[in-house]
């Protein structure tokens, strides 16, 4: 391997593993969302769903 190839290999490894570590730290600090958009869990959309017919 050439020195420039090794440099890019180390850069790619640092980028991938650094991103993984940074996202892990971020998710540990904010594990759940505080607000959900409309249509999230338990909004009773099944009450206004289209009628299903047996054919």
pLDDT band at 41 (very low <50, low <70, confident <90, very high): low
Across the chain, mean pLDDT equals 84
- b/e 26-48 (16+ beta carbons within 10 angstroms → b): eeeeeeeeeeeeeeeeeeeeeee
Residues 13-31: what's their mean pLDDT?
94
Give percent of the chain above pLDDT 90: 49
pLDDT exceeds 90 at position 36? no
- Average pLDDT (49-53) is 74
Q: Where are the domains of the chain?
A: 1-29
* CA–CA separation, 36 and 33 (whole Å): 7
- Rg over alpha carbons for the chain, rounded to the nearest Å, is 23
Q: Where would I find the H helices in the chain?
A: 3-29
pLDDT band at 32 (very low <50, low <70, confident <90, very high): confident
């Amino acid at each position: 391997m050439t020195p420039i190839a090794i440099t890019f290999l180390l850069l790619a490894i640092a980028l991938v593993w650094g991103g993984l570590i940074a996202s892990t730290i971020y998710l540990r600090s904010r594990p759940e969302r505080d607000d959900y958009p409309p249509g999230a869990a338990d909004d009773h959309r099944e009450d206004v769903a289209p009628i299903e017919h047996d054919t």
